[in-house]
Amino acid sequence: MLKNHAKAKIKDISGINDVDFEVNWDPKQKNSIKVTLGGKISHISKDDLWNFVFTIVQTSQQQRMIPVLKHEMIRYQKEHQIELQRDMKKGEIVIAHCAVNVKEEVDSAMRRELEEEKSYKQKSVLTPYLTDNKGSV
């Protein structure tokens, strides 16, 4: 992303009017672009320009415009057996399969947290309170 004032001139195919695009010309106008065509100035939002360009380009170009983040996932599957009490025949069992995808980094963090909790609980075993020889506290 450009942080300083920048200007781009795009050649007109017909050669009549070139188009100037200007960004960061005014600190108050961070989210807009100054467009000059034939001496006339217009201000358009960056979001509107992005949406317009994204709409008119080919699918392959759209794919290059979309950032792709790849995450390693871990899939957890669980089967739940539910005994019904009404609406269906009493005693009938419904089996529901549930699957959840979890990012590997989240899974690792949770495992570490559970291990720390487990080791903390193991360390907190109660020790006998020392008393005097008579057994009174």
pLDDT for res 136: 46
pLDDT beneath 70: ranges in the chain: 120-137
Whole-structure pTM over 0.85, yes or no? no
Q: What region does 16 belong to: left with phi over 0, alpha with psi -120 to 50, or beta? A: alpha
pLDDT for res 125: 52
Count how many residues are written for the chain: 137
pLDDT for res 122: 59
pLDDT for res 90: 80
pLDDT for res 48: 94
Burial class of residue 24 (count of CB atoms within 10 Å of its CB; 0-12, 13-18, 19+) = middle
pLDDT per position as a tens digit, 16-53: 889 999 999 888 888 999 999 988 999 999 999 999 99
Helices (H) and strands (E) in the chain, counts: 3, 6
Pick from 38, 65, 69: which is nearest to 52 by CA?
65
